[in-house]
Amino acid sequence: MKTIRIELAENSYKVYVGQGIFSKLSQIIFRQKLAANLFIVLDSQVKKLYSDKLKSELEQIGTEVNTITIKATEKNKSVFTLEKIYTALLKKNYSRDTLIISIGGGIVGDIAGLAASTFARGVQYIQIPTTLLAAVDSAVGGKTGINFFDTKNIVGSFYQPKFVIVDTDFFKSLAAEEMRCGLGEILKYAYLTDRVFFNYIRKNIENIFEQKENVLTKVISTAVKYKGDIVSKDEKEKGLRKVLNLGHTFAHAIEVEQEFRLKHGEAVIVGIACSLYLSNKLGLIDDDKLSELLSPLIKFQKLISIRSINFKKIRKIMLRDKKNKQNRIKFVLVKDVGEIIIDVEASEEDINYSLENGIGLFATSAISKI
């Protein structure tokens, strides 16, 4: 098992990564003397697949544990679901001394985190990510949130968990597209970190996909360590933390424009491609480097497909992105592996060029622009 410490003064916590380590849950809760009243926010799919595993570990805790089950869809990442959690908590008389445990992917984790940060003005919570994407990204760093109308994650908070357990055994039941989504976020770290990790990822894409345990643990812990170091320096995303949004300005807009036919991690892969084309158009990388940096993404070419795209709508969605101010769209771009530039503005023409080429890589045929 690997342990990574996220340094945030009195809000510091540990992320445990390993195979079969869900069985340490009760032990860690007792050791940290966390609140005694447990409430589980559980992904419905995980409940179906792992009820015995969950039951046997939760029985170790000994007290009554209540559970709410959530079907993980972006539509359910809503005020309505949040209200259901508050209602269930109140009906069972939970108050300040509550420990919320999120068991599921990024959708369940983001909602559970927001519920924890707001119920009774903030109660303790733990993240147990059961998707690869949640393990390398959403479960660490304390961003919580829900969607409102069609704006993603627009209501939320920064609120850190007490600890995170990444049990890689959960990933065995993930659908191929969910593994691909996790890989999308992992690829992001390949560009953010250094050449050693970039080359390691490039060589091991198949091994990650096939869940070779030592590769998986190494990749997850490296990504978590990198994210943790950034979050320690800039918890509330005033500057440096923005690097973690590489590809995401494009990705969020593409996700919404495609009405979520593309999953978040898949949209991130397309979004990184668009960002690389924009970096090239703005003269940050030359054509040779563009080809080199695009090479890991090309492997996903046949697996992600986009038929048509509405450029005007994409631009409108980007302008609504909470990271943008005063009608200006800001991008995170790449100068080289490990050399990232934040807050770059671009003309409409350059944005369209990047969308056309980036999305073009994943288009089933000549892309139809609406």
Residues lying near ligand NAD in the complex (CB under 6 A) are found at 43, 45-46, 49, 72, 74, 77, 104-108, 110, 130-131, 133-134, 137-138, 141, 143, 152-153, 170, 173-174, 178, 181, 264-265
What's the min distance (Å) between Cβ of 334 and ligand NAD? 19
Q: Which of 337, 340, 328 is nearest to 296 (CA)?
A: 337
Residue number, 167 or 346, with CB nearest to ligand NAD: 167
Report the candidate in 61, 45, 57 with the shortest Cα–Cα distance to residue 99.
61
Smallest distance from ligand NAD to CB 157, Å: 10
- Look up residue 325 and give its DSSP letter: B
Cβ proximity to ligand NAD, 174 vs 332, nearer residue:
174
3-state secondary structure of 128: strand
What six digits make up the tokens of 243? 């690097």
Question: Which residue, 124 or 131, is less far from ligand NAD as judged by CB?
Answer: 131
Q: How far is the CB of 94 from ligand NAD (least distance, A)?
A: 23
Closest listed residue to residue 249, CA positions, set 233, 266, 267, 228 = 267
Least distance in Å: CB of 351 to ligand NAD? 22
Give the 3-state secondary structure of residue 259.
coil
For ligand NAD, which residue has the nearest CB?
106
Helix (H) or strand (E) holding 255: helix 248-257
What beta strand segments (E) does 71-210 contain?
98-104, 124-129, 143-148, 151-158, 163-167
Residue 131 vs 354, nearer CB to ligand NAD: 131
Distances (CA, A) of 203 to 196, 197, 265: 11, 10, 20
Q: Which is nearer to ligand NAD, 134 or 285 (CB)?
A: 134
Q: Which is closer to ligand NAD, CB of 68 or CB of 363?
A: 68
115 and 41 Cβ atoms separated by less than 8 Å: yes
Distance in Å, CB of 48 to ligand NAD, minimum: 9
Rounded to an integer, what is the distance from CA 211 to the centroid of its chain?
19
In the complex, what is the shortest distance from the CB of residue 30 to ligand NAD, in angstroms, rounded to a whole number? 25
